[in-house]
Amino acid sequence: MSKAIFLLTFLLGGLVLPASAQAPAPKPTVVNTTPVEVVLLDGTPVKLGLGNAAAAKGVRVGENLELDVAEDVRLSDVVVIAKGSIANAEVTNLRSGLNGHGGWVDINLDSVTLADGHRVPIRASKNKPMHDDQSTIISSSGQDASIAVGAFVIAYINGNQALDLTRLRAAGGPTTEVKITSTPPNAEITADGRLAGSTPYALHLSAGDHVIVLRMVGFQPWQSKVHVGAQPLSVEAPLAKQDGT
């Protein structure tokens, strides 16, 4: 009896041996998604220019003026502010030139859009001013204050800005223009929870689904999920008053 048990144990052991001799399964590759924080330093220059759309129309005091980033801004070889991104400024004053030729447009620089859609503040001078004046001037042509294409202004990052380099690197892919308009205009826009601007406004979003929310005092919030593909989109948001009218 004991001999039979010994033989059975030996045979079972022989069956297990090939399995135990197999090479261990390879471990899955772990992708590091830990945020890598870097600092976009105060005073970093950002070259801005007037796009064709902005130059084609006259500007008025109090209106938002969109400037285009003329050159990439990089940190650790990662584009943190991409060429073509939007910078926002407010027109504060119009000054005519002699005999109606030329002139100046005073603007108050506000912010510039990062590659991941976030916005950071900018100012007009490299060194921090002693007061809150952020204004600068750019040249214009004609009595209607239409600003000539090719006019440039140098803005500067206002304050040290902590950035997530991992997120910025991931956002470096292609984007699609999404034009947001509302009735009435001047509604505040947030895209995926981040403040983007005021209507009418052109967002530049990566492919996929994005949540757009519009808010305006006296009106009900408007929200929609927008699917972004390769083709530009236009989104019109009719806002309803708080009383339902």
| Residue 25: per-residue pLDDT | 59
161 within 8 A of 168, measured Cβ to Cβ: no
Any idea where the domains of the chain sit in the sequence?
34-173, 174-245
- pLDDT computed for residue 23 by the predictor: 56
| H or E element that contains 184 | none
> Strand pairing of 135-140 and 103-113?
antiparallel
For the chain, 245 residues long, give each residue's pLDDT as a single digit of tens.
555 444 434 344 444 445 444 556 555 544 444 557 889 999 999 998 876 545 545 667 888 888 888 899 998 888 899 888 888 888 888 776 545 555 667 788 899 989 888 889 999 888 876 555 444 555 544 334 445 556 788 999 999 999 988 878 777 667 788 999 999 999 989 888 777 778 999 888 878 888 999 999 899 999 999 999 889 999 999 999 988 76
Out of 1.10.3470, 2.40.128, 1.20.120, 1.10.8, which CATH number does the structure's domain 34-173 have?
2.40.128
In the chain, which ranges are E strands? 37-40, 45-49, 64-69, 73-75, 78-81, 86-96, 103-113, 119-123, 135-140, 152-157, 161-164, 176-183, 188-191, 194-198, 201-205, 208-215, 222-228, 233-238
Residues 187, 98: Cα–Cα separation, whole Å:
38
Which CATH number does 174-245 carry?
2.60.40.1120
CA-CA distances (angstroms) from residue 141 to 82, 103, 116? Answer: 28, 6, 35
Quick: pLDDT tens for 51-77. 654 554 566 788 888 888 889 999 888
Q: What is the pLDDT of residue 245?
A: 66
- Phi, then psi, of 100 in degrees rounded to 5: 75, 10
Say what the pLDDT of residue 158 is.
93
Give the whole-angstrom CA distance, residue 95 versus residue 108.
Answer: 15
Q: What is the pLDDT of residues 78-119, one digit of tens each?
A: 889 988 888 888 888 877 654 555 566 778 889 998 988 888
